[in-house]
Amino acid sequence: MAVARGKATAAPAAKANGRGSARAAKSAGGEKRADADTSARMTNREREEHVPVFAIFTAYFGYAVLIAFGYMRDAYRRLVSGLNHSKPGYAPLLSDFDDFYTRRLYRRIEDCWNRPICSGPGAYIDVMERVSSDQNKTIHLTGNSIRALNLASYNYLGFGARGLDEKDHSVDYVIEAMRDYGVSMASPSGELGTTMLHRELEEVVADYLGKEAALVYGMGYATNSSTLPALFGKGDLIVSDSLNHASIVTGARASGAKIYPFRHNDAENLEKIIRNAIADGQPRTHRPWKRIVIVVEGIYSMEGEYCILPEIVALKKKYRCYLYLDEAHSIGASGRTGRGVCEHFGVDTADVDIMMGTFTKSFASVGGYIAGSRELIDYLRFTAPGFVYANSMTPPAVQQAISALRIITGEDGTTIGEEKLTALKRNSNYFRKRLMEIGLEVYGDEDSPVVPVMLYNPAKMPAFSRECLKKGLAVVVVGFPATSLIASRARFCISAAHTIADLEAAVQSISEVADRVMIKYCTPTEQKSVSA
């Protein structure tokens, strides 16, 4: 029944879809179900209007069944042995309520996550095989490994593992850096932890982005959670996109500034919030805000879409706010020369006050950077906790980031960087288009290397993940709480190291799995000729 519905035309779907609004009808072109071409031009919000009602119903029903069973099992266990074995007189370390989701829902499908690998994160990885005989209470390694196509790691430019093998000498430079400096400088960057390498990386990054100066931290997460509190505090306002990453949320909460979230990628909502904030002032005292900063990400990793940067920059200039751009996923992966979403949209980097990014994704290193004006960077050097207390970035990783940046900009004298950038775009667009053609509900924007595919029903997560692994595909599935309750999805990360042949084989396998798991929510189209 589901299969028939999946292939049904949009007419019954649009009628059955109780959430259908004028916008949905307009964007879907009236009655016709979006085909691959129009779907590619829709935004995620427009795609959200098309959730099939049957999928929503089964998703909620699935949760209801799981929760009911969970409560029954808890009640049984409480009767038999008592739920939380804590010492008398102590409150239990983990409250029943906090732990319910983990115990009763997550544990059933725990084997889909934390899968260990025994190779570097290249185009293919060796996933270590695991078994469990007691419903995932304990999971054991069997000692075997499964060679799988890596559609999961953030290896956008293919620098993971050995990169381009013989042609790529970056590992040799990294080993040299380790010989000169060791694995750790055992000192914060603000004390004796900053080396010539760190300075070089800072200059290369600042140059790459067209900013005056940059500084590097040893951890990408800490870059956000350390910089936001250092710059903003009581009396400031942080207007943050509702889908921002946990590190931004932690940093904003630690800063003591007031936080107003705005609806994801909604410029009208953002403008309304800023206008009202300036007019009303701080809550209760109505004093004017000291500063207002808008925090957005370049590419949202769960949605696969870009932020609406041009509109946000226009707003920021109009109301004299500051702009903090987190390019964790988009640096190196967007723009013609990999310089991020600013290049992608043609926005001048001088308009973005604080540019943040990480080296973990496109550069296969570790750590993060902040780029901005010289005064800003000097101030952060003086007071950001990540600089004052935390050990500086490990030198071999610094060298890896420098090598990767030099390759991307072509300063190493080869065309490897250019090839990687082209390959990434070509691969992402090819993969996205093919998935839409086979009838999957694909989110995200054109050119984005993150390709989320909707599953909706939480039970489809383990089904999809396990079936794909059997066919030799390592995929990531995400559900609540990283996404909303019924918006479970599979998220593919494309790499420049993949070949079109790899991806086509993957698409075939995914198509078979999707038929079994019944996630072809859209109309499949004929396979069009591929533009390679």
Partner 1 sequence: MLPYADVVMGHISTLIEEDPLHVVVEVFLIAMVFFLLFQKQYRVKNRDDKLTEKEVEQLCQEWEPEPLAPAISNVQAATPTHVVSSGAGRTCVVDGAEKLNFGTMNFLGLQNDERVNEACRKTLRKYGVGSCGPRGFYGTVDVHLELEDNLSSFMGTEKAIAFSYGLATATSVIPAFLKRGDLIICDESCNFAIQQGCSLSRSTVKYFKHNDMEDLERLLREQVERDAASGNSLNRRFIITEGLYLNVGDICPLPQLVELKDKYRFRLLVDETVSFGTLGKYGRGVTEYFGIDITRVEIITGSLEHSLASIGGFCVGDRIVVDHQRLSASGYCFSASQPPYTAVAASVSIDILRDDDGPHGGRAKLERVRANARTMRPALAQLPGLRLRGSFDESPIFHLELETPSGSDDDDYILLQRVAEAALQSGVAVIAVRYSHLQLRRQPPSLRVTVSAAHTDDDITKAAAALKKACKALK
Q: Which stretch binds partner 1 (CB under 8 A): 32-40, 41-49, 226-234, 499-507?
A: 226-234
Nearer to partner 1, 97 or 532 (CB): 97
Taking the complex as a whole, the smallest distance from the CB of residue 69 to partner 1 amounts, in Å, to 20
Taking the complex as a whole, the smallest distance from the CB of residue 487 to partner 1 amounts, in Å, to 17
Rounded Cα distance between 287 and 279, Å, is 10
Taking the complex as a whole, the smallest distance from the CB of residue 335 to partner 1 amounts, in Å, to 20
Pairing of strands 124-131, 354-358: unpaired
Interface positions, 127-146, toward partner 1 (CB under 8 A): 127-128
* Cβ atoms of 127 and 148 closer than 8 Å: yes
Taking the complex as a whole, the smallest distance from the CB of residue 251 to partner 1 amounts, in Å, to 10
Q: What are phi and psi of 324, to 5 degrees?
A: -115, 115
Question: Which residues, at least 6 apart from 514, have a Cβ–Cβ distance to it below 8 Å?
Answer: 438, 439, 440, 464, 520
Q: Quick one: which of 213, 216, 210 has its CA closest to 197?
A: 216
Is 120 an interacting residue with respect to partner 1 (CB under 8 A)?
yes
* Cβ atoms of 414 and 490 closer than 8 Å: no
Is 162 an interacting residue with respect to partner 1 (CB under 8 A)?
yes
Question: Which residues, at least 6 apart from 481, have a Cβ–Cβ distance to it below 8 Å?
Answer: 101
Tell me the number of residues near partner 1 by CB under 8 A.
Answer: 115
Is 333 an interacting residue with respect to partner 1 (CB under 8 A)?
no
Taking the complex as a whole, the smallest distance from the CB of residue 311 to partner 1 amounts, in Å, to 17
* Cβ atoms of 213 and 374 closer than 8 Å: yes
Is 384 an interacting residue with respect to partner 1 (CB under 8 A)?
yes
Nearer to partner 1, 32 or 107 (CB): 107
Nearer to partner 1, 124 or 306 (CB): 124
Is 117 an interacting residue with respect to partner 1 (CB under 8 A)?
yes
Nearer to partner 1, 161 or 487 (CB): 161
6, 52, 193, 458: residue in contact with partner 1 (rule CB under 8 A): 193
Is 468 an interacting residue with respect to partner 1 (CB under 8 A)?
no
For residue 358, the cross-strand partners are 368
Give Cα separations from 20 to 52, 354, 484, 497 (angstroms): 11, 39, 20, 41
Nearer to partner 1, 306 or 359 (CB): 359
Rounded Cα distance between 437 and 442, Å, is 10
Rounded Cα distance between 346 and 79, Å, is 64
Rounded Cα distance between 355 and 37, Å, is 33
Burial 411-429 (b: 16+ CB within 10 A, else e): ebeeebbbebbebbbbbbb
Taking the complex as a whole, the smallest distance from the CB of residue 399 to partner 1 amounts, in Å, to 8
The DSSP call for residue 355 is: E
Nearer to partner 1, 377 or 518 (CB): 377
Structure tokens belonging to residue 462: 């383990």
Nearer to partner 1, 28 or 506 (CB): 506
Taking the complex as a whole, the smallest distance from the CB of residue 55 to partner 1 amounts, in Å, to 24
Interface positions, 354-383, toward partner 1 (CB under 8 A): 354, 358-361, 363-366, 372-373, 375-376, 378-383
Q: Which stretch binds partner 1 (CB under 8 A): 50-58, 71-79, 212-220, 517-525?
A: 212-220
Interface positions, 267-326, toward partner 1 (CB under 8 A): 275-276, 278-279, 288-292, 319-322
6, 52, 160, 444: residue in contact with partner 1 (rule CB under 8 A): 160
Alpha-carbon 137 to chain mean position = 29
Scanning 281-393, the segments in alpha helix (DSSP H) are 309-319, 341-345, 374-383, 385-388
Alpha-carbon 151 to chain mean position = 13
As a dihedral over the C-alpha atoms of residue 5, residue 8, residue 11, residue 14, rounded to 10 degrees, the angle is 40
Nearer to partner 1, 196 or 485 (CB): 196
* Cβ atoms of 49 and 17 closer than 8 Å: yes
x/- letters, 473..502, toward partner 1 (CB under 8 A):
-x-x--------------------------
Nearer to partner 1, 64 or 94 (CB): 94
30, 389, 415, 485: residue in contact with partner 1 (rule CB under 8 A): 389
Is 125 an interacting residue with respect to partner 1 (CB under 8 A)?
yes
Q: Which stretch binds partner 1 (CB under 8 A): 14-22, 112-120, 453-461, 517-525?
A: 112-120
Rounded Cα distance between 105 and 259, Å, is 32
Taking the complex as a whole, the smallest distance from the CB of residue 116 to partner 1 amounts, in Å, to 4
Taking the complex as a whole, the smallest distance from the CB of residue 194 to partner 1 amounts, in Å, to 6
x/- letters, 37..66, toward partner 1 (CB under 8 A):
------------------------------
Is 102 an interacting residue with respect to partner 1 (CB under 8 A)?
yes
182, 234, 484, 485: residue in contact with partner 1 (rule CB under 8 A): 182
DSSP 3-state assignment of 80? helix
